[in-house]
Amino acid sequence: MRAVTVAPEQRLEVSEVPDTEPGEGEVTVEVAACGICGSDLHMLPSGVLPEGSILGHELAGTVAAVGAGVEGWSEGDRVCVYPFPPIDRLDIAASLDGGIGLGTHSGGYAERMSCPAEMLWRVPDDVDLAHGALVEPLAVALHGIDISGAQPGMKVCVLGCGPIGAMTVVGLRGRGFSDVVVIEPNEQRRELALRLGAATALGLDGVHEAVIEAFGGGLPEVVIECAGNVNAPALAIEILAPEGTVALVGMLEEPVPISQLNMMLKEAKLRGSFAYRPGSFDEAVAMLAAGKVPTEDLVTSRIGLDGVAAAFDELLRPGTPELKILIEPARAT
């Protein structure tokens, strides 16, 4: 089968690799679409991926084969994949070691992939199967909202309107939030935030005063940080209301500067958010089925396997208009 694999010098290339077969308790999925995640972009140059690795954890497709001992799944079933085990609890080591498309277990940048049957979620028949690849990033956003403690009626600010920030706006609107302000330096993405339902989208100039004005004289009780920028957590605390909560959804490895004094004076709460839980996946699927996910605004390109290396370059380019690129292995280009 064809797949995009990690080549020497951390390059990506399209290769012929042995076809995958399901082991006991596993299924093989014919991949309809797989999203390119920001974590994929950052893992590739890090040097942590063994040669031959197949990335891709935002995927949907159809069941192509069922392994021994698997019940409840049949060939042709429409599915998306919950890529980070264990499903029933938070276990970072197990998630990284057993995760799909992280270098240990082959992911969705391929015509087919295999995984434990328990990692499958059904995609309803009335949902474009390729859009099932949006379930995973939307679940990330929904879990971040849960971690933040935000409830409809609260003032909520989202930092960053990249893929996860955009999904967070979609998730908030889908849950009935109306008072959502987005802070995003890129003008095109500010316009996107408004199309997705944000009440206001602000740049960085004079942002503290602008946030107060946008909320009609107050600061947000919740800030959801989705930028993954070294300065974003400090900004989140700066614009947070007293006794408010900052949820860190953006992924950043290096240390960040935070004013402990600001946190102390505001009695601020700082929460990390990792991946999702099964309920997040259920809700994401339900939102897609209900037509609450504006896929035409979120999916900016669909490409074949041969276009993946160029897509990585484009997504890393400052100011790119791309948001979520879906890889469709059956697509010619």
Q: Are 235 and 159 in contact (CB under 8 A)?
A: yes
Residues 6+ apart with CB under 8 A from 100: 56, 57, 59, 81, 83, 84, 106, 107, 108, 113, 115, 119
Neighbour-count burial of 212, counting CB atoms closer than 10 A to its CB (0-12 exposed, 13-18 middle, 19+ buried): middle
Backbone angles phi, psi at 246, to 5 degrees: -110, 125
| Two tokens, residue 308 | 């993946």
Q: What distance in Å separates the CA atoms of residue 90 and residue 147, rounded to the nearest whole number? A: 13
Judge whether 200 and 216 are in contact, CB under 8 Å.
Answer: no
Nearest to 148, CA basis, from 247, 249, 274: 247
CA Rg, the chain, in Å?
20
Q: Which two tokens stand for residue 273?
A: 């958010």
Give the per-residue pLDDT at 93. Answer: 74
Residues 258-264: contacts with CB under 8 Å, at least 24 apart: 258/233, 258/234, 259/234, 262/234, 262/237, 262/238, 263/237
User: Measured between alpha carbons, how far apart are the two ends of the chain, in Å?
Assistant: 17
Question: For every residue of the chain, which 3-state class applies, written as one string?
Answer: CEEEEEEHHHEEEEEECCCCCCCCCEEEEEEEEEECCHHHHHHHHHCCCCCCCCCCCEEEEEEEEECCCCCCCCCCCEEEECCCCCCCCCCHHHHHHHCECCCCECCCCECEEEEEHHHEEECCCCCCHHHHHHHHHHHHHHHHHHHHCCCCCCCEEEECCCHHHHHHHHHHHHCCCCCEEEECCCHHHHHHHHHHCCCEEECCCCHHHHHHHHCCCCCCCEEEECCCCCCHHHHHHHCCCCCCEEEECCCCCCCCCCCHHHHHHHCCEEEECCCCCHHHHHHHHHHHHCCCCCHHHHEEEEECHHHHHHHHHHHCCCCCCCCEEEECCCCCC
Angle at 13 between CA 313 and CA 22, to 5 degrees: 120
- pLDDT for the residue numbered 97: 73
**Up-side HSE of residue 323: CA atoms within 13 Å toward CB?**
24
CA distance 262 to 304: 48
Separation of alpha carbons 313 and 82, rounded Å? 27
- What pLDDT, on a 0 to 100 scale, did the predictor assign at position 95? 73
Contact between 222 and 153 under an 8 Å Cβ cutoff? The reply is no
List the domains of the chain with CATH numbers: 2-122+294-327 (3.90.180.10), 140-272 (3.40.50.720)
Give the amino acid at 172: L
Write down the pLDDT at residue 254.
Answer: 82
The pLDDT score that the predictor gives to residue 181 is: 98
Beta bridge partners of 13: 5
Q: Are 220 and 243 in contact (CB under 8 A)?
A: no
- Tens of pLDDT along the chain (333 residues)? 999 999 888 889 999 999 999 999 999 999 999 999 998 998 888 877 888 899 999 999 999 999 999 999 999 999 999 998 877 777 777 777 778 888 788 999 999 999 999 999 999 999 999 999 999 999 999 999 999 999 999 999 999 999 999 999 999 999 999 999 999 999 999 999 999 999 999 999 999 999 999 999 999 999 999 998 899 999 999 999 999 999 999 988 788 888 889 899 999 999 999 989 999 999 999 999 999 999 999 999 999 999 999 999 999 999 899 999 999 999 876
